Amino acid sequence: MNILPVPMTLPVSETTANNKYAGEAGFGEVLDKAIEKLNDVQIKADEVTQRFLVGEIQDIHQVTGAMQEAKLTMQLAVEVRNKIVEAYQEISRMQL
């Protein structure tokens, strides 16, 4: 199981070439990458399950490992979302 953190700096692309923070990824880009990784992990778990059901994979450990990775990745995404919502609510309660 290979779970790597999402890097905070991404390669410079054409969209960020004129940005004064060209070497750093914006919050939206980091969030997009994390959601893309979540989707990839979910798809991988589905594929491994399908392969197990049709008999291509005999080892149940591969299936449970992929399913557990998908579960943990989803839990992480939900917790991050909860923290973002909590931060937004805290900011909205601030008096100017």
Domain residue ranges in the chain = 27-93
List phi, psi (to 5°) of 3.
Answer: -110, 110
Mean pLDDT of 13-32: 68
Q: For residue 94, what are its two tokens?
A: 């601030």
66 contacts: CB under 8 Å, gap ≥ 6 = 44, 45, 48, 49
pLDDT of the residue at 10: 47
**What are the pLDDT digits (tens) for 24-40?**
778 889 889 999 999 99
Model pTM above 0.75: no
